[in-house]
Structure 1
Amino acid sequence: MDWTIEGELVWLGLVCAKDRRDPDGGCGCGRSFSGMSSHRATTTALVRDLPLTRDDLLGALIGHYDSAGYGLFTRAELIDEVDAMLDFVSSWPSGTIVERRLDVLRTRAPVT
Structure 2
Amino acid sequence: MRFMLSLFDPEGYWDSVSEEQMGSALDEHRAFARFLEARGIEFSGEAVMPAGEAVTLRPSDGGVLVTKAPFVERREDFAGFYLIDCADLDEALEIAAHCPTGAGVEVRPVWSAPS
TM-score bucket of the superposed structures, by smaller chain: under 0.3
Q: TM-score, normalised by structure 2?
A: 0.27
Q: Which has the higher strand share?
A: 2
Higher relative CO (CA 8 A, sep ≥ 6), structure 1 or 2?
2
- TM-score normalized by the length of structure 1: 0.28
